[in-house]
Amino acid sequence: MEKLLEDVVRVAGGWIEARYQERRSLLLSSRNGHFEQCSSGRTRGIGVRALSGGALGFSSTTDLSEKGLRQALASAQMLAAATREGKSHPVKLAPARPVRGTFPVDTVDRLDAHPLEEKIALVSRLDEQVRRASPKIVSSSVIYAETIDERIVATSEGTVVRVLDSKPSLRVLAVAGSAGEQFVGLQTVGVTGGWAELHARRHPDELVVEAVRIAIAQLAAPHTAGGLATVVLDPDLVGTLCHEAIGHTVEADIVLGGAVTADKIGHRVASELVTLCDSGLPLRGGHAVGLLPVDDEGVEAGRTVLVERGILRSYLHNRESAAHYGVTPTGNARAYQYSDEPIIRMTNTYIEPGETPVADLFEGIDDGYYLRGFAMSGQADSNAEFMFGVREAFRIKRGRVGSMVRGVTISGNAFDVLLSVDAVGDDFSWENGAGICGKGQPAKVDAGGPHIRCRLTLGGRQL
Amino acid sequence: MNDRLLETCRDGCAMATQMGATAAEVFAQDSEETSASIEKHDLQLARSSRELSYGVRTLVGDRLGFASTNDVRDLGDVCRDALALAKAAPGDPHNRFPEPAAHVAVEGLFDEEAHAFTPRHVVDRALEMLRVAGAIDRRIVVGDGAFSAVRMTRAVANTLGVAASEASTFFAHHILVTAREGDRVSSMDFQAGATHWARDIDIVPAVDLACRNALDSLGCSAGESFQGIVILSPSAVLDVLVAPLLFQVNARNVLRGLSRWSDRLGTPIASRGLSITDDGTIASGVASSSFDREGVPHASLSLVAHGRLQSFLHNAYSSSAFGIPNTRHAAGSAASLPMIGPTNLAITPGDATLDELIADTKCGILVGRFSGNVDPVSGDFSGVAKAAQLLRSGRRAGPVTGTLIAGNVFAALEAILDVSRETQQIYGFRLAHVRVDGISITST
């Protein structure tokens, strides 16, 4: 396949990028002791992008023969021609050094070395553990998912890379009920790697204990009135803030579409304690879900410093936006499937750890909140306004973490929140690996960071 | 093409049973799409794709396995995968396929002239969206948008005798805009439209509404905090009320113990002003089709009548588990197991116009869009009111920003005061404005 792609794109004429992708997926789910899903999928195909006369065209096919590839290429060139007249700004691509080679998955324990029966047994066991944990648990759910990918990217400029990928994830949900009310406890883990790396990130039994604890704790928790408050955010919420509320506003296509970060390069957008990055490299313990050695335009991964000590330094680029801004591509062009065209996506987005011991972050907070975990719900706009559900919220009184409150959301302008950061913890963890980012097409990404202390608005109830 | 696809489904069923399956079902989907996207207020990319997908369900006794592929040459391997998964999976007595049922083809889903809709036409429609937005106001920036033309054939067969196929055409568009004025940036607004017929394509209403909502949210002032009345737009009704309601009436969630309405059939779950129907048989309906994901013909269903819960949504599995007739709401693609989902869901319009709802509101807010969190299990919701207007003494008192609304869906359904006469189509949903009391409103 590598030779076929290389041979065809080399002589096609004009700029061409051809990408073969084969994916195998497995999804196992059990709920309340009933096995709901035992399913697998396999897809393979080729996506071709052509640049002609300043316009791009894209076509995909499942015909993997030379004829099928040539037809897809001709279709992409025809679509580029159809678009040319209507474009206000011709597309140009920033130069990228051709890359060649194979990039394997970093794992000591491949997923396909573990039989289906072992994975089913894990899911069934965890589901049973949740249900047996407490009579207050009224519903349970466990989902194991894995995707194993092979991608080959070839461009007319000489890039030919083969990238192998493997991403397992586990999700444990407990629902506690009492007096007609029900509350959810959700715990997830996801990695780039194999079976051992998934278990090493967080042991499955720990997910069960935490999910059950969170669900039950909410039964007795009161609502809070909300309002502006001093808070300590855990790495999960820091990662969510980095990805959802900041990260999307620095994707160059969103910037050019009118995001609040336009014309803000070189300006202060955060406290000087904040350095915020995106990287497809295996940094900080490795195995983050957004690892991407070479992107789908054939650009090698790097570490992009988006905010350096509070100053906005860069956007995330593909080759088109890099040419527009006259900068180097950052390796963020990603396509989910062969049938998707590469667009600008984050990889692993995080705040660098600081120097404050985590325990010290709570000191001096007379009346505030300790907020833990993204509740997998919320939204953020390109003006950096956001609203996220919080999995667990605790009152902080006179520097001590106290009782839980429920139904808490956080909202505000993400850059205002980052400007208010007055302490950054010395810890770090990746936390968002089980989720999927949606931007027209899905993407597996990760995010994380240290604990931070800041001020933001809590949504509660008028009590 | 329909017949050939259906024949492949039958072949797949035969293969699976020869390999040892007790029963088998093959669902196939042949989709051909051309689209043109907008980014950065410019035409971005024209694209085309063609994909045939096959999803195979096999039963070994009461054990179920599923596997899918996008390559017909793998159909045998996928039958083998599904069989291996079934053999490894624990059993469930309600794993079963539906029996065949006579169905009448729903009219108006296939445009014979769609073949004349070329990539050039697709690009022209996307350009029209940009042109219309630009003509409304120079402050508008179209951050994202697309126009797509889809031709799809679905076929499904099972070893009990279900055999159905259908072709449809679909033209859809969406637009996401912001307004910029100096350093001020409005909220994003998203609107969309869809039709089965090329002659019915009209991008103007969605573009116009998105632009006006974005412009209205420029120059907002701070709101006020109180507990009181909120008028939800159809878009906000979808997110705040309809999405959690659909979670609660999904029979799978009832079986999972996640619905608090498991014993509420026939009893009030909302105020008398709320009635909701679902009907996948509406001629030319956006979400219509002649049969569901399991090959069973759709039917009309009353979900909520004058506030009383009338039915849950079922597929073959859940109807077996409940021991009641199937409501024919199996949903999903060839790449996944059949789920449960609505078709054309509609809120029955009320008598009062939106202006009359506003005139009846002494103190409240009108919410254009809801950006927040709704927990469908507990019913708690909290989020930012976008494109919001403060209502005072029966009048709009100006746009407000930084306003959170919070409450509980179950309480809100019972506190519905009115449903508007006007409705808006949002993909398969036809929804009205809904006026609700007792919502917590917090200005930040």
Confidence of residue A461 (pLDDT cuts 50, 70, 90): low
- Judging contacts by C-beta atoms under 8 Å, the chain A residues touching residue B42 are 87-89
CA distance, residue A247 to nearest chain B CA (Å): 16
Query: In a 3-state reduction of DSSP, which class is residue A427?
Result: coil
Query: In a 3-state reduction of DSSP, which class is residue A426?
Result: coil
Q: What letter represents residue B422's amino acid?
A: E
* One domain for residues A43 and A102: yes
Cβ–Cβ gap B372/A175 under 8 Å: no
Q: Dig out the tokens for A242 from the structure.
A: 């980095």
CATH number at residue A129: 3.30.2290.10
Tell me how many degrees the CA angle B172-B173-B174 measures, rounded to the nearest 5.
Answer: 135
Q: Dig out the tokens for A425 from the structure.
A: 């913890």
Contact between residue A374 and residue A389 where contact means Cβ atoms under 8 Å apart: yes
- Judging contacts by C-beta atoms under 8 Å, the chain B residues touching residue A457 are 402, 404, 444
Taking each helix axis from N to C end, the angle separating B75-88 and B2-18, rounded to the nearest 10 degrees, works out to 50
Q: Would you list the DSSP string of B266-314?
A: TSBSS-TT--EEEETT-TT-TT--SS-TTSPPP-EEEEEETTEE---B-
* One domain for residues A255 and A394: yes
Least CB-CB distance to A254: which of B124, B143, B255? B143
Q: Dig out the tokens for B377 from the structure.
A: 């299990």
How much of chain B is helix, strand and coil, in % rounded to 5? 25, 40, 35
Which helix (H) or strand (E) segment holds residue A388: the answer is strand A385-397
Least CB-CB distance to B257: which of A43, A139, A457? A139
Please state the rounded mean pLDDT for residues A149-155: 96
Q: Dig out the tokens for A228 from the structure.
A: 């502006």
Q: Which residue has the tokens 């304690």?
A: A273
Contact between residue B126 and residue B146 where contact means Cβ atoms under 8 Å apart: yes
Cα–Cα distance between B200 and B11 in angstroms, integer?
38
- Judging contacts by C-beta atoms under 8 Å, the chain A residues touching residue B52 are 62
What average pLDDT does chain B have? 93
CA distance, residue B144 to nearest chain A CA (Å): 7
Please state the rounded mean pLDDT for residues A284-289: 86
pLDDT of the residue at B220: 72
pLDDT of the residue at A386: 86
* One domain for residues A236 and A338: yes
- Judging contacts by C-beta atoms under 8 Å, the chain A residues touching residue B84 are 116
Residue of B nearest to A339 (CA): B49
**Which of A219, A251, A282 delimits the end of a domain?**
A219
Cβ–Cβ gap A462/B225 under 8 Å: yes
Tell me how many degrees the CA angle A378-A347-B67 measures, rounded to the nearest 5.
Answer: 80
Cβ–Cβ gap B374/A377 under 8 Å: yes
H helical segments located in A223-338: 235-240, 252-256, 319-325
Cβ–Cβ gap A387/B371 under 8 Å: yes
- Judging contacts by C-beta atoms under 8 Å, the chain B residues touching residue A41 are 67-69, 335
Contact between residue A17 and residue A49 where contact means Cβ atoms under 8 Å apart: yes
Contact between residue B222 and residue B411 where contact means Cβ atoms under 8 Å apart: no
Least CB-CB distance to B404: which of A182, A389, A411? A411
Ramachandran quadrant class, B71 (left: phi over 0; alpha: psi -120 to 50; beta: rest): beta
Burial A209-237 (b: 16+ CB within 10 A, else e): bbbbbbbbbbeebebbebeebbbbbbbbb
Cβ–Cβ gap A387/B65 under 8 Å: no
* One domain for residues A192 and A280: no
**Which of A219, A236, A259 delimits the end of a domain?**
A219
DSSP state of B319: H
- Judging contacts by C-beta atoms under 8 Å, the chain B residues touching residue A55 are 43, 46
Residue of B nearest to A82 (CA): B120
Cβ–Cβ gap B256/A31 under 8 Å: yes
Closest by CA to B335, choosing from B58, B28, B85, B63, is B28
- Judging contacts by C-beta atoms under 8 Å, the chain B residues touching residue A141 are 256
Q: Dig out the tokens for B256 from the structure.
A: 């999972």
Residue of A nearest to B369 (CA): A379
Q: Please enumerate in sequence order all residues whose Cβ is within 8 A of that of A74, keeping only pairs 6 or more positions apart, or say none.
A: none
Query: In a 3-state reduction of DSSP, which class is residue B5?
Result: helix
Residue of A nearest to B261 (CA): A180
* One domain for residues A302 and A439: yes
Least CB-CB distance to A258: which of B51, B127, B141? B141
**B112, burial (CB in 10 Å: exposed 0-12, middle 13-18, buried 19+):** exposed
Pairing of strands A452-459, B23-39: unpaired
Least CB-CB distance to A38: which of B89, B226, B440? B89
Q: Dig out the tokens for A421 from the structure.
A: 């950061």
- Judging contacts by C-beta atoms under 8 Å, the chain B residues touching residue A411 are 372, 383-384, 404, 444
- Judging contacts by C-beta atoms under 8 Å, the chain B residues touching residue A226 are 404, 406, 442
* One domain for residues A204 and A270: no
* One domain for residues A289 and A382: yes
Please state the rounded mean pLDDT for residues A39-49: 95
Contact between residue B242 and residue B215 where contact means Cβ atoms under 8 Å apart: no
Query: In a 3-state reduction of DSSP, which class is residue A122?
Result: helix
Cα–Cα distance between A23 and B69 in angstroms, integer?
10
Q: State pLDDT tens for residues B48-91.
A: 999 999 999 999 999 999 999 999 999 999 999 999 999 988 89
* One domain for residues A208 and A261: no
Q: Which domain holds residue A118?
A: 2-219
Q: Please enumerate in sequence order all residues whose Cβ is within 8 A of that of B96, keeping only pairs 6 or more positions apart, or say none.
A: B23, B59, B62, B316, B317, B320
Cα–Cα distance between B35 and A305 in angstroms, integer?
35
Query: Between these two residues, A457 and B21, which has the higher pLDDT value?
Result: B21
**For chains A and B, what is the number of CB pairs under 8 angstroms?**
248
Q: Given a cut of 60, is residue A462 above it in pLDDT?
A: no
Query: Between these two residues, A435 and A410, which has the higher pLDDT value?
Result: A410
Least CB-CB distance to B88: which of A34, A43, A120? A120
Count structural domains, chain A: 2
Query: Between these two residues, A396 and A432, which has the higher pLDDT value?
Result: A396
* One domain for residues A19 and A77: yes
H helical segments located in A166-262: 195-201, 204-219, 235-240, 252-256
- Judging contacts by C-beta atoms under 8 Å, the chain B residues touching residue A177 are 257
* One domain for residues A320 and A435: yes
Which helix (H) or strand (E) segment holds residue A100: the answer is strand A100-103
Cβ–Cβ gap A62/B258 under 8 Å: no
Instruction: Give the dihedral of Cα atoms B128, B130, B131, B132; nearest 10 deg.
Output: 90
B364 vs A304, B241, B285, B370, CA distance in Å? 46, 18, 35, 15
Interface probe with A: pick from B45, B63, B235, B253, most Cβ of A within 10 Å: B45
CA distance, residue B27 to nearest chain A CA (Å): 14
A225 vs A164, A230, A427, A454, CA distance in Å? 49, 14, 31, 19
**Which of A203, A219, A235 delimits the end of a domain?**
A219
Q: Given a cut of 60, is residue A144 above it in pLDDT?
A: yes
H helical segments located in A64-159: 66-84, 116-132
B175 vs A256, A344, B147, B205, B213, CA distance in Å? 16, 19, 9, 11, 12
Cβ–Cβ gap B256/A32 under 8 Å: yes
Q: Given a cut of 50, is residue A463 above it in pLDDT?
A: no
Please state the rounded mean pLDDT for residues A192-205: 94
Q: State pLDDT tens for residues A201-254.
A: 999 999 999 999 999 999 989 888 778 899 999 999 999 999 988 999 999 988
Residue of B nearest to A461 (CA): B440
Cα–Cα distance between A4 and B131 in angstroms, integer?
42
For chain B, the maximum distance between any two Cα atoms, rounded to a whole number of angstroms, is 73
* One domain for residues A212 and A246: no
Cβ–Cβ gap A341/B47 under 8 Å: yes
- Judging contacts by C-beta atoms under 8 Å, the chain A residues touching residue B404 are 226, 387, 409, 411, 457, 459
pLDDT of the residue at B272: 96
Confidence of residue A73 (pLDDT cuts 50, 70, 90): very high
Closest by CA to A433, choosing from A393, A376, A351, is A376
- This complex has an ipTM of 0.84
Cβ–Cβ gap B378/A181 under 8 Å: yes
Please state the rounded mean pLDDT for residues B108-120: 92
Cα–Cα distance between B300 and B297 in angstroms, integer?
10
Least CB-CB distance to A411: which of B185, B257, B384? B384
Torsion sign across C-alpha atoms B75, B77, B78, B82: positive
Contact between residue B351 and residue A156 where contact means Cβ atoms under 8 Å apart: no
Closest by CA to A159, choosing from A10, A366, A326, is A10
Residue of B nearest to A460 (CA): B406
Please state the rounded mean pLDDT for residues B423-429: 94
Q: Dig out the tokens for B311 from the structure.
A: 């039915």
CA distance, residue B279 to nearest chain A CA (Å): 27
CA distance, residue B224 to nearest chain A CA (Å): 12
- Judging contacts by C-beta atoms under 8 Å, the chain B residues touching residue A89 are 40, 42
Pairing of strands B63-69, A34-52: parallel
Q: Dig out the tokens for A265 from the structure.
A: 């390069």
Torsion sign across C-alpha atoms A88, A94, A100, A105: negative
Cα–Cα distance between A341 and A333 in angstroms, integer?
9
DSSP state of A406: B
**A11, burial (CB in 10 Å: exposed 0-12, middle 13-18, buried 19+):** exposed
Cβ–Cβ gap B52/A407 under 8 Å: no
Query: Between these two residues, A326 and A180, which has the higher pLDDT value?
Result: A326
Cβ–Cβ gap B382/A182 under 8 Å: no
CA distance, residue A425 to nearest chain B CA (Å): 27
Structural domains of chain B ordered from first start: 2-216 (3.30.2290.10), 220-444 (no CATH)
- Judging contacts by C-beta atoms under 8 Å, the chain B residues touching residue A75 are 48
Confidence of residue A460 (pLDDT cuts 50, 70, 90): low
* One domain for residues A179 and A277: no
Interface probe with A: pick from B258, B337, B405, most Cβ of A within 10 Å: B258
Closest by CA to B208, choosing from B238, B177, B239, B242, is B177
Q: State pLDDT tens for residues B292-322.
A: 999 999 999 999 999 999 999 999 999 999 9
